[in-house]
Every structure is written in structure tokens, then in C-alpha cells.
Chain A
């Protein structure tokens, strides 16, 4: 069947902001779908609230709506655009849910829009547990037995029938609160009682335990003709009980015979058929009892997923791209395999290497959350590594994680071994390795972890190999031994640590002996056919397949695994760098190890190296490619950490000089520079000891901001109001050294923060955006909402900012992008931080202004000048780019995944993603951004307000506005008094320790619609934390700053005033600029 011609215009739904469990893999799939459908000649309309994505680039769709993924806004887009079809299967669960809403509300029918990819019945059958169970039973597939119960007796009866252990999951509790595993009758009664009580519907799912079973996943594709293929099999290193997203996973499956694998394959295809997925990609998860091979189907997703992104990268088979083509009627055998060119996409990829995915967690950012892994995903990112063997891939994967820890077996606490092995946790693999160094056997570790003995044996062999190096002189290691070490995945640094040498000496020694990396291709076919796509990974085999060209070329170092503070925004910049290089006639070479991203799509760059971003691996690539330049300023901190060492080795870093980048981080030198330029900054100092820190802080005067150097995302950053906090911080919170001192700044309370992105060619400085933060200084810039253009700055303040930015850019010899953070207090502008590199806000500013900042930056790095880009900047070479509307960027937080964590905002960044709202006024844009971020501001109802004394005057003004909009006011005693004095009627609510019913009881009862609760400054009282935590748990919007409260009031005003409307980026960029400078 050729493609459908009855469809002309297709709406693609994106996945919205990056959250835990739904990250940039959907930018990858969505971008592929957009590209594939446009290439087929369809008009593509896109809705996605996430501005940091490649898919929302105006070039990728005909009309791009960065609007909230809500029923109302999606309906408005459909009403305006009248698409013929909606593709719902490339935007994760968010898109699928929205498609269901659109169908069920009758919108699709009303506007005669067809759902393509997965039909509504199929979606429901796959998503509804009971329907799914029935469907699987019908086709004879085994599932775990389970039952919903609302009393103890039924639970006991079930357990008697099934046997212990029993898993209990209370319905609708946040983060699975109240659930557990009962190993006996007594525990069952206890957990069940608690669960029934905690569940809002007083219901608990009791389920047969499959903990410790082997876990598998198959990625399946099917076309309208009924042809089905398995793209990839994945086996989890961590057995059942750990969410797949939190498991180390391996492709292909390693421990299944063909009989068992084919049984699973048959089951997966039958499952797709029965669910009714008529085209596209799906994944099906299975568990297998290692004792007897009993196989149960765990779940299926009728859409592309995180695992399908992984499978695409692991095999070279682009699932989302092909899914999009299948959705418009193509058959699998009508689509060509891009990599072999000669063969069709209707086949099953076979691979001659092993792929390992390892998650990356950040529990350290969420004090109070227990670092254990279970059925709810907690990781914020992942890496993938490709090696010729499992050992090699695992070693490379561990290096890719950039945890700062060495990838060898570490010395840990022997007392903790049993505990850390038995209960899954982020450090489990470290403990497995440690256990092997302590003489544990594979059998012992298997008993405690249930990890398959094959995997454990592999890990133990590497540990033994590594230990055998102890005390070996470097010169004594033979070529044969080096070959073995490198083939088993040991890094030069790891070898160096074991033998007490320098990594570069190890490198030199082995290269001297002829042991050097070669590159193999990912080709979907295990070399059976020729590959035309330079998608490469390193190995220590005997033949190099990289075939570098002799073109002019530039290598881009990517940003590695997603983590809070370094996420999709940097991948966006790297991808654009690649596109720009191609535009300028250069060959682009991408290096990255994050399987979720667009940058690791083999379609993005001329050449892709799927490699860890370590000095060793980057040098390997450099040796082969000999690029003319290396770009380090787009990938966040990861490539910057490599910049100086690479430059010292003589590698051609282009753009701003690494020593200038470094200068901005060096407090002393930077302070000197600011003084020379006569630019004020908050008084500051640095310290390399506890005493020095206290002394510095005293000298500066409290409060002070304390942080380590060289980190992104405000890791381990605190505001200290007294010496005790400083002392505690220096003792506990961080590591520091003479090379990397702790930085201490005077903290400017109640200042307004401003973020500036600029481009510089050493002569001219183009300011791309001056963004005003909604939250005051003290909240990490990544966690603060911000608005473009600035709304409350005076013209002279803006002029000062422009002036300082220009001076700084020139002084730092910036070539490319630069970001500056300012604080404005009492009309005085202070520089907080300068980062001469791409910042987190680059994609947002690019979307808002319509000017492709990374592209121009790359041009500048290649030696072009700003005045060569006037066609992109509307003629502007100096000064600030205009915008046509108000654009608000709002963060999205993962607090729902970390019960027990205080959601108050602070200097440590904790948001995982962002959204953009656009409006004709600030209020409209802010309202949209908040809705898109999943924290919609209610139009009316009960407002609970409790603020510290300092905020009381402001609170009165804000409360009066809310009152105007019809809100009923509730307040704690002090605030209530202030409100009443101002003539605002309000009810007094008890604080938690004052009696009951208190504020928390009110939240739990669902009687409050909005909470405004500011912090008391020096430290949060337990009382405040309880209220904020409960607001998160019960999904009551909670605002923790006064500026946030004022913005919310403006948002509500807009809702009362403005119609619901949407703009595509293409329309916005064609519009007239607005000029707003004063409040």
C-alpha cells in the first residue's frame, strides 16, 4: 500500500516538558516523525509546550504551536488548523492521554479528524488494566494474578490462593505510598490495613509477586498489512522489582535460548494483534521465572517509548521515523533500510555487539527521599554504551555516566554489602563489584540480588582482571595484556589508578605497543550488507571501519546523560551546531552517549560517534578524524571539563578560548576583571578550608551564598544565614580543593534576577534576550520562571545591562555564545555570574525571538562576523533582539516522585524540564506556562495564604487582587491579622502545631484551591515543609514566593480578560515587535 493521499494535514502531539519517565526520547521520536511526514509531502502541525526541543523548531513543522498540552488548547489548535489526522503515538503518555481526551470529548468527531497510529480502542485496551488482562487471557498469555480488594478478608483469601510474598499497591496514592511486600499473613494484614486507609478510594491491588524474575522487553513494529517485526530484544540486568527506566538494561537479550525467545516473540506479536495496534511501534514487557521458565506479560505500550528510542540507537533502526510512515499507510516492505540502502525495513535487525544502558540518578538533590529503587522510576537520565562484548559495553557505560567516581571497583563499607545488594539502590552495581573484591562468589551475590549469574560472572571477571593489576609497573604490561584489558572495557584512567600511573602515560604505553582503539559500525545487519551510515563505536578489534573523509570538519562534544541542570537544552544547542556546520559546508561529527537525544540520531550529523565523553575516548576519535575544530561550548559542563586538557594537548578548540571560559569561573581573576571594567558584583570570596570559609563569610556579612566551583544546576549550593550553616556545609556538603575552592558570595535578598544571552564576535555584541526572573534572587535560575521581554526593569537598568554585557563579552574575548546573570537591587545592577558558553535558556530565546542563536554562534566560531548574519537578525548587529509577544518559561519539578521532599525553591536546581507560554500580555503567557507546567492556577475558590513578616505588605496587595477575582481568603494567624487590618475578610486557619483542623487537614480535605506560603528566610520550619509537601501530595498549587503570587494574580486577570487563543511560532515571528521596558 502506498501512502495515503486523502490526508493532507497532520497534527503531531508532542510530549511536553521533560519529567522523570518522559524525557528527550520523545523529542527524538517527535522530530523524526515531523521530518518523515514532511518529507512525504504532508503539511505538519505540531503542538508541544516544550521550547527546548528540536521538534519545536519552526523549520520542522509547517505550523508549530508551543502551547499547553491541554484539551482546551489542543482543541483550539484543531479548530484553527483543521488537520485531517492526529498522530498520537510519538509523544509519550502525554500525547496518548491527550488524544484520548480529544476523542472522548467529541472534538475529533466534531472537526472530522482521524486518529492515526493507534486507534482509541487499542489505546484503551492497552492502558486499562482490566481490559488488558481480559485481552491477554483471551489469547492465552499468562499474567501475574492480581485482585483489587477493599477489605482484609478478600486480601487474605487471595494470598491463601496464590501464596506469599504478595505485592500490595494502594490505588491512587502518590509515589506508591503505603504499598509494600507482605511475606506472611501478619505483614499482609498490617500493610493492607494501612493501604486501605491511605488510598483515597480505600482500595488496594493485591498481586502475585514476580520479584527477582528475569525481565525482558521487545520492541515491535507492525504495519497495516499485518506484517510484524521485532526490532530489538532487551534484557534487564536488574530483575523484576526495579522499574525498567531504573534498571541497567542490555541488548540483545543474553540468557534466552531460541525456544524461549521465540515464545516471547510470538507472544509479543499476538499481543499487538489482540490489542489492535494496527500500525507503529509498541513495546511489550515480559517477566520469566528463572526457576522454570514461566513467562508472564507485564505490560505493553501502544506507542513509541523510551525503550524504542534505546532500541533505535542500539540497532540503527529508526522506529519513530518508520512508525510515522506506517501511520500514513506505507507497509514495512515499502520502506528502505537507510543504513544498507539495498534492503527493506521489513526485517529484524541483528547486532554483533552488546549495548548497555545505565540510568543516572540524582537523589542527592532531594534530601529526605530514600535512595532505593522500586516500581516507580526515579532516574533523571541515562547513558548507552556499545561494545563488542558485554564487559566492554559495561565499562564504557560506567565511564559515560560522569558520576565523578572512578569506574573501577571502589572501596565501600563492608557492613553495608548485604543491605545494598538485597535492596535495589543506585549504588548496587558498585556494591556488587565491591563484594567480588571481598571474595564473595557469584552464587552468593546472585542469592542476594537475583541478578542473572551470567551477568554477575562477567562483572566478577572484570573485577578480578582489574585487581590483578595492583602494583604492576606500567612497563611490565604486555601488548597481549593491554589488549585484554581494553577489550574488557577498562579505561586508561582506571588502569592508571590501579597501577599508580598517569592516564596519559598508560595511553602512551599501550599505543607504543600497538594497542589502539578502532571504530566499528552500527549497521542493523551484523556486517552482512555494506553500511552507508557512519554510525560508529570504538572497540579494540583488528580492523577500523571509520573511513574518515578529507573534508573540512568540526567535532561537537555533546552533553552526556541528562541530569538536572544539564538536559535537553544543551542537546538542542549541539544539534543546531551540527546543522549549522553542515550549512556552512563543514562535515559535522557528533560525540555523545545519551540514547534519548536527537544528537545521537544518525540522521543529525554527518558522522556519529556513540562514545563516552571522556578524555580517552575523545582523543581516540580525534586521532582518527583529525578535525579542524572542536566545539565545547554547547554541551554544558561535560565538554567544558574536557576543554583545558584537550587544549593543552594541542587539540583545536574553536570559539571562546577555554582559558577565557575558565577565567569566568576563577573568582580571583574574574573579580579583578570586574573591578577593571568597573562592574559591580556582590562582595565575594573563596575558601579552601572550613576556617577560611567562616572568616570570608563573616567578612562579607550574612546571608551568604556558598557553592562549589565548576558545577551546573546549583549542585550543593546553599544560602547561609549564619556561621553554623557555613561550617556544616564545609564539613558535609561538598568536596573542595585548592584547585577547586568553595565560592562564597554576599547574598542579595529580595533582588530581581535577570538572565542575559548574548552573541559576540570579539567586536560586536548582540544581546539575544534579557529575561526577567519571576522568582527573586536566591531561587536557582533554572528553577525560576522568567519572562521575555523583561517587564519591570527601568530603561536605564536595561541600558546598564546592555552596557555591562557588551563589556564583559569583549573583555572575555567571547566568540559565540555567552550567558550573564544579573541581580538588580535598589536599581543597582550586580553581575552574579558569567558563563561564556551556551546556556540553558538558548532554545527558549531562539524560539521567542525566531533567531537561531546556536547557528550564528557556530558561524562566529568558524570566523564569520555578526554582520554576516543580518538576514537572520533582522539587520541587528549590536543591541537587543526584539520580540513580538510575551514569552514565559516555567520550570517543571519532580517532587511528585520524591515523597517526603520539601518542594520549597532554593539555590539548588531541582527542576527537570521547562515549558513556554506565549501571550499578548505577561499574565496570559504566565497562565499558559503554569498550565503547561502542570500547575494550573485556579480561577477561583479558596486561597490559603501564609507569609513571613517581611512579605506582609505585599501579601495584602496580592490578596486584595485575588479577592477581586472572587477568591475566598484563608490565612494563618499573623497573615490573617494583616489582611483583616487592611479590610480584607478572611478566615483564620491553624498552623500545624496550633491545633486541628489545621492547614494540612484543610489541604488533605481538598478544601483549598491555591496555597501561597513563603519561606521564613533563614531556614524552613518543619511546619512549613509539612504544608508544602502536602500541597504537592494533594496536587494543590503551591506558590512559595511573593513575586510568584503577583504573577499568578496577573495570570488570573488575563483569564478573566482574554479569550483562549493560540499562536504558531511561524505567525509570531512574522509579527510586529513589541516595545516594553517599564513596569
Chain B
């Protein structure tokens, strides 16, 4: 078995065994605490530019399959795990997880003390790193990590967004005879979805609520979007820092008040900027499937799926214009907002889950209701 090494910008070295593609990759090292759903994590475009550490030590057990992809291919730069399964055991599996990543040129470093790594990232914050296989000069690797681009200020959206607009019609398909197939509602709405790095499960859920979807590139202008005569505009999730996305937030500002808007994750942050607010980088981000979020309106707590390194600063928003609707109970960060007078709302977390709990699916229904209301 080949050895591999993960070197971090602070000089830390983690040794392990090489799996996946035997290549060298750099990225910001972040950890995700979800127990299930590694395939969805691999293929989430929001991980563009990041090397992902999974805290669940046993990865790859159920292999990989064709339907649990959130994008046509994986987006993580590299994977760090404690153990990668030599077998794939699940009735839906068509490939081993390790092969799945190798196929797309993504390296995996296994047998790593991931807990020490996570504790380091928790204390130091997200760090840049490099995965390399084979023999290397470690000092040189640390240099490579230090020279790799920082997340802050980087426009990664342009790397992951679609080049051309396309339409999407697939809804949520059952994966088990026990899962009842729920036919999508009749397509009453035309929704234009900005692809900043959109996850398929968002598209599927938008279809479920009765949307005909046009997915447009991230740099599409508000004018072009409005010319499609949408009943609603969706702002997707996506990778990296929202601050460089001035163009996007500018265009979104043009949409407010003209059409119902719903944003998720990066879409939420872009709205925050469009509202005139600011964003900031979290120490090590929220990446997991167990974050408690309080919904101020219902008073109920939702267990949510999260994946973001930046956050909207509530003090930068005008109370008269924007209302905070959701709050993270772990660290009291903003998880949801609503415009006080216009049909615009957004959440920082992932109601489409994939992976994660389904507690927040209702937000798609809320979007449908908003569009419905606006139609009348």
C-alpha cells in the first residue's frame, strides 16, 4: 500500500495510506461531522476548493451509487478519512467509494488520526493543506500548502456554475419499495434558479412543489432573468467567499421586489450582501447534519444540514428592512432572513438535506406559497 501525507500550512503533518487517485491536490481543509451521506458530500459543488475530513471513521461502507450524486461529478479536492472500506455493501451500490473518487482524479488519504486533525482545525480554524502520495520533502509540502490560494476573496462560483442555461424536470424518486413515490405537483410555477454551484436535490425539491425549472449561469443578469418571466427566482448554494460576488449581489438587488426570491446557503449570503449587509468568515465553518436551528416563527427547532464557511453579520443589516427568522442554537449565528416588505426569504442551511435530516423541507412549500400569493 502506498503512503500518503497531508501537510498543512501551519506545518502539521498527517501520515496515512493512499487511496483514490494517486495525485497531489491542495485545498482548504475542512471537517464534516455528518455520519451518513459521504457521496452527497463528495459531489456537493460547495466543496469546490476544499479538502474534506470526515469525522465518521468508517467511510465507504455502502459504496457509491448512481442516484446519490448532487452534481454530475465529485467536487471535493481531496478526502481525508480514518478508514476507507475495502468493500461496498448495499443493495444500491454500483461501485466502491474509493473507485468512485479515483475515477475523477480525487485523492484519498486514509488511516489518518482524523480526530487530532479535527481538534487542530477546531482550535486553529480552517487551514490550507496539500495531499500528496509517495515520498516527499515535507517542508516543501508545507510550502505548497502555504502557497495555495486562500478561500477568502476567491471567486469559486465561476468554476462550478453551469456555462449554459438548462431546464430541469426530475423530481424526488423513491429508493426503496417502502418509500412512497410522491408525484410532483402540477408545474404551476416557472422558477429560474441561479446556479452558484447548485445541488441536485434542491432542483428535485423545487420540481416537487410544482416548478418548471430554468437553471441559469451565475453571471446571468437580472434583466435576462426577468425576461424569462419567472414566478420565482431561486438563489443556490455554492462554494467559497460571498464577498467577491459583487456582480451577483448587484443583480440580485435588482430582483428584490420584482419577483419572489428564495435563497439557500451562498444564495442566503448573496441576499445578505444585496440587502446591504456584510459577511464574515467563521473559524472552521459549519459542516454537518446535526445543527439545531431555531425557527423564530414556529418556536420549533429544526435539525439541519449545514455546509458553509462564511456567515451573514446580523449587525450589518437594517432592522427595518430585514428580519432574522432562524438562528443557530450552537453559536447564535444567523440561519435565516426575510425581507420585511418584499417576498424574499432565505436560509443559511440546507433544507434539501442530502445529506441530512428532512426537518426543513417545509421551506420549499413556503416558497410555493409565496409564489402563489404573488401570482394572485
Chain A residues within 8 Å of B, Cβ to Cβ: 140-142, 225-227, 229, 233, 252-263, 265-266, 288, 290-296, 332-333, 342-344, 346-354, 388-390, 442, 452-454, 457, 461, 487, 520, 525-530, 541-543, 545
- Supposing A258-B354, A349-B290, A350-B288 touch, asked if A541 and B113 sit within 8 A by C-beta, the answer is yes
- Which residues from A are CB-within-8-Å of B6? none
Task: Indicate if B241 sits at the interface (CB-CB under 8 A).
Answer: no
B33 touches A258 (CB 8 A): no
Contact between A258 and B37, CB atoms less than 8 A apart: yes
Instruction: Provide the residues of chain B in CB contact with A520, threshold 8 Å.
Output: 115
For A542, the chain B residues whose CB sits under 8 A away are 113, 116
User: B202 CB to closest chain A CB, in angstroms?
Assistant: 15
Is the CB–CB distance between A352 and B55 below 8 Å?
A: yes
The yes or no answer to B34 lying at the interface (CB within 8 A) is: yes
- Add 19 more A-B contacts to A293-B176, A352-B118 (CB < 8 A): A227-B301, A256-B36, A257-B68, A258-B289, A260-B90, A261-B36, A263-B176, A263-B179, A333-B329, A342-B330, A347-B329, A352-B115, A452-B89, A454-B85, A454-B87, A526-B115, A527-B55, A529-B330, A543-B115
Check B175 against A293 for contact (C-beta < 8 Å).
yes
A453 touches B57 (CB 8 A): no
> Are B91 and A293 in contact, CB atoms less than 8 angstroms apart?
yes
Q: Are B288 and A388 in contact (CB under 8 A)?
A: no
Q: Contact partner of A254 among B58, B92, B114, B299, CB < 8 A? A: B58
Which A residues lie within 8 Å of B73 (CB)?
A: none
Give every chain B residue within 8 A of A288 (Cβ-Cβ).
176
Complex CA–CA separation, A946 to B178 (angstroms) = 59
Chain B interface size, under 10 / 10 to 19 / 20 to 34 / 35 or more: 35 or more
Residue of A nearest to B111 (CB): A487
Inter-chain CA distance A487–B111, complex, in Å, is 10
Complex: chain A residue closest to B88, CB-CB: A454
Complex formed: what's the CA distance from A68 to B55 in Å? 48
Q: B178 contacts A527, CB within 8 Å? A: no
Given the interface pairs A252-B56, A344-B292, A350-B35, the reply to whether A293 lies near B85 with Cβ below 8 Å is: no
A-side binding surface: helix, strand, loop or mixed?
loop
A529 to B291, CA, bound (A): 12
Name the B residues within 8 Å of A333 (CB-CB): 292, 294, 301, 329
CA distance A528 to B176 in the complex (A): 33
The answer to whether B89 touches A454 (Cβ under 8 A) is yes
Closest-by-CB residue of A relative to B116 is A543
Please name all residues of chain A whose beta carbon is closer than 8 Å to the beta carbon of B39 when the two chains form the complex.
257-258
Q: How far is the CA of A288 from the CA of B90 in the complex (A)?
A: 11
Q: Within the complex, what minimum Cβ distance (angstroms) separates B354 from chain A? A: 7
Closest Cβ–Cβ distance, residue A954 to chain B (whole Å): 64
Question: Could you list 12 examples of A-B contacts with CB < 8 Å?
Answer: A255-B89, A256-B62, A257-B62, A258-B68, A258-B354, A293-B175, A344-B329, A348-B303, A352-B114, A389-B83, A526-B118, A543-B113
Roughly how many angstroms separate A262 CA and B68 CA in the complex, as a whole number?
A: 13
Please determine whether A389 and B113 come into contact, CB atoms closer than 8 angstroms. no
Least distance between A864 CB and chain B CB atoms (Å) = 41
Roughly how many angstroms separate A265 CA and B303 CA in the complex, as a whole number?
A: 12
Contacting pair B116 A388 (CB below 8 A) = no
Closest to B85 in A: A454
Inter-subunit contact B115/A388 (CB<8 Å): yes
Q: Verify A263–B87 contact, CB threshold 8 A.
A: no
Across the interface, which residues of B come within 8 angstroms of A453, CB to CB? 87, 89
Question: Is B136 located at the chain interface by the 8 A CB criterion?
Answer: no
Contact present for A295 and B56 (CB under 8 Å): no
Interface membership of B358, Cβ < 8 A: yes
Q: Binary interface profile of B, 73-91, with partner A (CB < 8 Å = 1, else 0)?
A: 0000000001101110111
A352–B58 CA distance with the chains assembled, in angstroms: 9
Q: Tell me which of A252, A253, A257, A265 contacts B357 (CB under 8 A).
A: A265
Interface residue ranges, B against A (CB under 8 Å) = 31, 33-37, 39-40, 55-58, 61-62, 65, 67-68, 82-83, 85-87, 89-92, 111, 113-116, 118-119, 122, 175-180, 288-292, 294, 299-301, 303, 329-330, 353-358
Residues of A near B292 (CB, < 8 A) are 333, 343-344, 346-347
Known contacts A293-B176, A527-B115; is-contact A350 B89 (Cβ 8 Å):
no
- Cβ 8 A contact of A390, one of B58, B115, B288, B329: B58
From A265, which residue of chain B is reached at the shortest CB distance? B357
B65 contacts across to A, CB distance below 8 A: 257
The residue that B289 contacts in the complex, of A259, A348, A353, with Cβ under 8 A, is: A348
Are B288 and A528 in contact, with the CB atoms below 8 A? yes
- A526 engages B55 (CB within 8 Å): yes
Closest chain A CB from B73 CB (angstroms): 18
Q: Are B89 and A140 in contact (CB under 8 A)?
A: no
CB neighbours (8 Å) of B62 from chain A are 255-257, 454
Query: Closest approach, in angstroms, between the C-beta of B204 and any C-beta of chain A?
Result: 12
Describe B's contact surface by its main secondary structure: loop
Say yes or no: B303 contacts A347, CB within 8 Å.
yes
Residues of A within 8 A of B301 (CB): 225, 227, 332-333, 346
Bound form: Cα–Cα A291–B89 in Å: 11
Considering the complex, give the chain A residue whose CB is closest to the CB of B14.
Answer: A542
Once the chains are docked, how many angstroms separate the CA of A292 from the CA of B175? 9
In the complex, the answer to whether A227 meets B300 with C-beta atoms within 8 Å is yes
Is the pair B303, A389 in contact by a Cβ cutoff of 8 Å?
no
Which of A259, A347, A351 is B35 in contact with, Cβ under 8 Å?
A351
Establish whether residues A388 and B57, one from each chain, have CB atoms under 8 Å apart when the complex forms.
yes
In whole angstroms, what is the CA distance A288 to B91 when docked? 11
CB-based contact B358/A229 at 8 Å: no
Q: Which residue of A lies closest to B123 (CB)?
A: A530
A contact residues around B291 at 8 Å (CB): 347
B residues near A527, Cβ cutoff 8 Å: 55, 115, 118-119, 122
Chain B's closest residue to A452 (CB) is B89
Measured between beta carbons, the chain A residues less than 8 angstroms from B330 are 342-344, 347, 529
A226 touches B300 (CB 8 A): yes
Q: Could you tell me the distance between the alpha carbons of A246 and B209 in the complex, rounded to whole angstroms?
A: 45
A527 to B113, CA, bound (A): 12
B contact residues around A257 at 8 Å (CB): 36-37, 39, 62, 65, 68, 90, 92, 175
Q: Which residue of A lies closest to B330 (CB)?
A: A343
- B122 proximity list for chain A (CB < 8 A): 527-530
* Chain A contacts for B175, CB-based, 8 A: 257, 259-260, 263, 293
User: Closest chain A residue to B175 by CB distance?
Assistant: A259
B87 to A525, Cβ gap below 8 A?
no
Q: How far is the CA of A263 from the CA of B181 in the complex (A)?
A: 12
A352–B57 CB distance below 8 A? yes
* B82: chain A residues within 8 A (beta carbon): 352, 388-389
CB-based contact B36/A258 at 8 Å: yes
CB of A454, distance to nearest CB on chain B (Å): 4
Closest to A293 in B: B176
Q: Smallest CB–CB gap between B310 and chain A, Å?
A: 18
User: Shortest Cβ distance from B42 into chain A, in angstroms?
Assistant: 12
Residues A262 and B356 in contact in the complex (CB < 8 Å), given A293-B178, A343-B330, A349-B290: yes
When distances are taken between beta carbons in the complex, the residues of chain B under 8 Å from A227 are 300-301
How long is the Cα–Cα vector from A390 to B301 in the complex, in angstroms?
33
CB closest residue in chain B, given A390: B58
A265 to chain B: which residues have CB within 8 Å? 357-358
Which chain B residue has the least Cβ–Cβ distance from A263? B179
A295 to B177, CA, bound (A): 8
In the complex, A236 Cα to B329 Cα: how many Å?
33
Most chain A CB inside 10 Å of its own CB: which residue of B62, B175, B356: B62
CB distance from B233 to the nearest CB of A (A): 28
Residues of A within 8 A of B85 (CB): 454, 457
Please determine whether B68 and A295 come into contact, CB atoms closer than 8 angstroms.
Answer: no
What A residues does B299 contact at CB under 8 A? 225
Chain A contacts for B288, CB-based, 8 A = 350, 528
> A513 vs B113: C-alpha distance in the bound complex, in angstroms?
19
CB-CB nearest in chain A for B290: A348
Q: A255-B90, A454-B85, A542-B116 are in contact. Are A294 and B178 (CB under 8 A)?
A: yes
Output the least CB separation between B181 and chain A (Å): 12
Query: For the complex, what is the distance from the CA of A318 to the CA of B199, rounded to whole Å?
Result: 36
CA distance A388 to B111 in the complex (A): 11
Cα distance, A292 to B61, chains bound together (Å): 17
In the complex, what's the smallest C-beta–C-beta distance from B253 to chain A, in angstroms?
35
Q: How far is it, in angstroms, between the C-alpha of A265 and the C-alpha of B305 when the chains are bound?
A: 14
